[in-house]
Amino acid sequence: MAVETTLVLVKPDGVRRGLCGEIVARFERRGYELRAARLLRVSKPLAREHYAEHRGKPFFADLVDFITSGAVLALAVRGEDAIAGVRGLMGATNPADSAPGTIRGDLATLLSENVVHGSDSRKSARRELQLFFPDGLV
Closest CA to 93 of 20, 11, 19: 11
1 band by pLDDT with thresholds 50, 70 and 90: confident
* H/E segment holding residue 118: strand 116-118
138 band by pLDDT with thresholds 50, 70 and 90: low
Phi-psi region of 7 (alpha: psi -120 to 50; beta: other; left: phi over 0): beta
Is pLDDT of 6 > 70? yes
**Percent of the chain having pLDDT more than 90?**
93
- Number of residues that this document lists for the chain: 138
CA atoms within 13 A on the CB side of 134: 2
Domain range for 94 is 3-132
Give a yes or no: residue 138 inside a domain.
no
Domain count, the chain: 1
Give a yes or no: residue 64 inside a domain.
yes
Give a yes or no: residue 62 inside a domain.
yes
Phi-psi region of 53 (alpha: psi -120 to 50; beta: other; left: phi over 0): alpha
Q: What amino acid occupies position 68? A: T
Q: Which residues are catalytic?
A: 117
Give a yes or no: residue 8 inside a domain.
yes
85: domain CATH number is: 3.30.70.141
- Mean pLDDT across the stretch 44-54? 96
Kindly provide the b/e burial profile for residues 38-57, where b requires at least 16 CB atoms within 10 angstroms of the residue's own CB. Answer: eeeebeeebbbebbeeeeee
pTM score: 0.95
Angle among Cα 40, 121, 21 to the nearest 5 degrees reads 40
21 band by pLDDT with thresholds 50, 70 and 90: very high
Q: What is the tens place of the pLDDT at every residue in 51-108? A: 999 999 999 999 999 999 999 999 999 999 999 999 999 999 999 999 999 999 999 9
